[in-house]
Amino acid sequence: MTENKSDIDWSAPERRDMVLEAHLDTLIYLTTNLFVHLPKQDALSILDATAKDLKLDQLESAGEDHTQRYVNAAREILKRAAANVKASD
């Protein structure tokens, strides 16, 4: 049985955490798989744009523990991906 979108309480902590985890999984997938097929400068540009699009500074100012964990994890993923791209040749 599929849940109706209107039946989901997205403000519930377990739902919110599930969504944040899904975002992190997607970010990890993109940074580990997609960027190996791009020229170095393109990959770095995309990583930079992704960091800006995620608006991590705005999320961080929300001050909630789960959001802070997401922000820290996303920053670490992007930092490692950039280091891997720079190191690849």
Residue 2 maps to a domain: no
Residue 47's domain spans which residues? Answer: 12-87
- How much is the pTM? 0.59
Residue 4 maps to a domain: no
In the prediction, which pLDDT does 24 show? 82
In the chain, the number of structural domains is: 1
Tokens of 83: 């280091």
| 19 pLDDT more than 50 | yes
Q: pLDDT confidence of 64, banded at 50, 70, 90?
A: low
Q: pLDDT confidence of 4, banded at 50, 70, 90?
A: very low
